[in-house]
Amino acid sequence: MHDIEPYYRWHALYDSSMDPQSPFNGKEYNYDQYSDTIYGYYIAPGWDFFGSETLYMKVLFADYLQGFCVIELIGEWNDAINNDIMNFKRNIVEHFIFHGITQFVLIGENILNFHGADDCYYEEWFDELGDGWVAGVNFRDFVIDEMKNFNVDSYMNLGGTLDIDNWRTMKPQVFYEKVKSLIQRRLEPGF
């Protein structure tokens, strides 16, 4: 796991440690020291801790004018033991909602497992977004299946057209517009 790094090509366009509205503003990274672990396996130092022992994240891009952010995740999403959704909702999502973000793109290709509990925090998040949305891009099929077992798919768009293999070839705004168009198509009557 130590060689799985957060996507870095947008770093010149956005750096969460330099963003005064980011929950990671001012964070200093030591890319020579591996200190964070998931189940005893070291992870690359570019990932950010938000309160979960098994799930880490990286804000890849945030645009406060358009009201969206792109967040990459790694590890095991465990609501049953660690209440990861509570930590994510309270420590990250609420911070961004306060600053006008209502559209969240979560990249889940490095989420290796999901353990659900109830859907209260997902429902709360959904209710606070108004006309906004949450899109899960590139989540593994078995993770989506587990999320569906706990009704998470009622609050987060997952799977199908949101498997976007070439997202790394796009600029952040282009990627966002692609996801947004897919979400809007899903919301149209008759989809």
20/23 Cα distance (integer angstroms): 8
Residue 2 — pLDDT band, cuts 50, 70, 90? confident
SS3 41: strand
| Residue 91: pLDDT over 80 | yes
H/E run at residue 34: none
H/E run at residue 112: strand 103-115
Q: What is the pLDDT of residues 114-130, one digit of tens each?
A: 999 988 999 999 999 99
Q: What is the pLDDT of the chain when averaged over all its residues? A: 95
Chain centroid offset of residue 155 CA: 14
Average pLDDT over residues 1-13: 92
120/124 Cα distance (integer angstroms): 6
Could you tell me where the DSSP H helices lie in 16-135? 84-88, 94-98, 120-128
180/25 Cα distance (integer angstroms): 27
Q: What is the largest CA-CA distance in the chain?
A: 52
59: β partners:
71
Give me the CATH topology for the region 48-187.
Answer: Transcription Regulator spoIIAA (3.30.750)
Q: Where are the domains of the chain?
A: 48-187
| Residue 76: pLDDT over 60 | yes
H/E run at residue 180: helix 172-187
